[in-house]
């Protein structure tokens, strides 16, 4: 069921498949909207209740008109669906929101499945990238931004729009959201130095063909989360749901089953240790 969810100063589009059991809540990356999960939903085969939503300005969500934080919007989505606890499945930008929310409200997170996640507070210098995107945008060269983006994040597909039209279409579609969010999206408080506080069962899958600095970020993030299971996806870059959807679905199922064992006991996420 599709619906619009009220968030602070705006609204976001969301979809709920319905069903029983603790839900999976999907958070998309900045290089794609919520349709990036389509191949994974097909692989999951309708076995779980799945809720996904488009961040402000992405997909079917209106552009922001006021300042907001991604973790605040995640909280609003969970509240809208009256979810006391959920398993968060998050990629890249969505991963940063999921980690921040988990630190803010650990009792509401039954598990974390992170795919090539970002994390607030990690020293990842993106200034050169922002400068180049700004230069291309000023010149009106949106296709230049697509080519730049695929060369950085889409290497497993050949790194060009010609070699990877599916990823190129996903990336091209989100560019308006990139610019609409300037001055509105506020970063969540730094989470990197607090990752040791996370007690929910967690897995982190990195793409070995992703940018080296993101691979390092993912390795360091996994090392700081107690008991985190680190998976290396040899055939993936920053688009794991496009490159290896069956593997992503299998990992989500494995993490869900681990979380469900704790969830069913009715205890806090850290009950029973690791």
Q: What is the pLDDT of residues 197-228, one digit of tens each?
A: 999 999 999 999 999 999 999 999 999 999 99
Q: What angle do CA 51, 240, 27 make, to 5 degrees?
A: 25
The pTM of the full predicted model, rounded to 2 decimals, is 0.94
pLDDT value at position 256? Answer: 96
112 vs 130, which has greater pLDDT?
Answer: 112
Split at pLDDT 50, 70, 90, the class of 266 is low
pLDDT value at position 244? Answer: 98
The answer regarding whether domain 2-121+185-265 maps to CATH 3.40.50.1820 reads yes
**H or E segment and range at residue 16:** strand 10-16
pLDDT value at position 21? Answer: 84
Only one residue has tokens 């029983």, namely 20
Split at pLDDT 50, 70, 90, the class of 112 is very high
Judged against a pLDDT cut of 60, whether residue 189 lies above it is answered with: yes
**H or E segment and range at residue 14:** strand 10-16
Surface-to-core class of residue 170, CB atoms within 10 Å of its CB (0-12 exposed, 13-18 middle, 19+ buried) = buried
Split at pLDDT 50, 70, 90, the class of 271 is very low
**Secondary structure of residue 34 in the 3-state scheme:** helix
Judged against a pLDDT cut of 90, whether residue 131 lies above it is answered with: yes
Split at pLDDT 50, 70, 90, the class of 127 is confident
Percent share of the chain, pLDDT over 90: 88
**H or E segment and range at residue 55:** none
Cα separation, 261 vs 251, whole angstroms: 16
Judged against a pLDDT cut of 50, whether residue 272 lies above it is answered with: no
The domains of the chain are located at 2-121+185-265, 127-180
Q: What is the pLDDT of residues 228-263, one digit of tens each?
A: 999 999 999 999 999 999 999 999 999 999 998 876
pLDDT value at position 265? Answer: 59
End-to-end Cα distance, the chain? 36
Judged against a pLDDT cut of 70, whether residue 267 lies above it is answered with: no
Cα separation, 183 vs 195, whole angstroms: 27
**H or E segment and range at residue 234:** none
Q: What angle do CA 191, 193, 196 make, to 5 degrees?
A: 95
pLDDT value at position 125? Answer: 86
Token pair listed for 233: 């996806």
Cα separation, 203 vs 169, whole angstroms: 29
Surface-to-core class of residue 82, CB atoms within 10 Å of its CB (0-12 exposed, 13-18 middle, 19+ buried) = exposed
| String of DSSP letters for 115-129 | ES---TT-----HHH
Surface-to-core class of residue 180, CB atoms within 10 Å of its CB (0-12 exposed, 13-18 middle, 19+ buried) = middle
Cβ distance 2 to 13 under 8 Å?
yes
Q: What is the pLDDT of residues 154-163, one digit of tens each?
A: 999 999 999 9
Instruction: Compute the average pLDDT of residues 83-89.
Output: 96
- Strands laid side by side in the 50-53 sheet: 2-7, 10-16, 50-53, 24-27, 86-91, 109-115, 202-207, 229-233
Percent share of the chain, pLDDT over 70: 96
């Amino acid at each position: 069921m599709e619906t619009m969810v009220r968030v602070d100063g705006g609204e976001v589009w969301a979809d709920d498949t319905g069903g029983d059991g603790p839900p999976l809540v999907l958070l998309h990356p900045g290089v794609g909207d919520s349709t990036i999960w389509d191949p994974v939903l097909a692989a999951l085969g309708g076995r779980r209740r799945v809720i996904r939503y488009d961040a402000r300005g992405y997909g079917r969500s209106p552009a922001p008109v006021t300042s907001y934080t991604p973790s605040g919007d995640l909280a609003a989505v969970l509240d809208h669906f009256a979810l006391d606890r959920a398993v968060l499945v998050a990629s890249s930008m969505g991963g940063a929101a999921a980690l921040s929310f988990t630190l803010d409200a650990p009792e509401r997170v039954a598990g974390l499945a992170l795919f090539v996640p970002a994390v607030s507070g990690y020293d990842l210098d993106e200034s050169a990238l922002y400068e180049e995107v700004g230069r291309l945008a000023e010149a009106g060269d949106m296709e230049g931004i697509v080519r730049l983006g695929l060369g950085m994040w889409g290497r497993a597909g050949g790194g060009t729009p010609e070699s990877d039209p599916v990823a190129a279409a996903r990336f091209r579609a989100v560019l308006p959201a990139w610019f609409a969010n300037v001055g509105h999206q506020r970063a969540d408080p730094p989470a990197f130095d607090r990752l040791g506080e996370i007690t929910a069962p967690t897995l982190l899958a990195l793409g070995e063909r992703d940018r080296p600095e993101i691979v390092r970020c993912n390795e360091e993030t996994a090392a700081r989360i107690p008991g985190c299971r680190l998976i290396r996806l040899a055939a993936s870059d920053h688009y794991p749901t496009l490159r290896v959807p069956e593997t992503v679905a299998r990992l989500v199922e494995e993490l869900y089953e681990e979380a469900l064992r704790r969830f069913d006991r009715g205890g806090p996420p850290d009950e029973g240790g690791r």
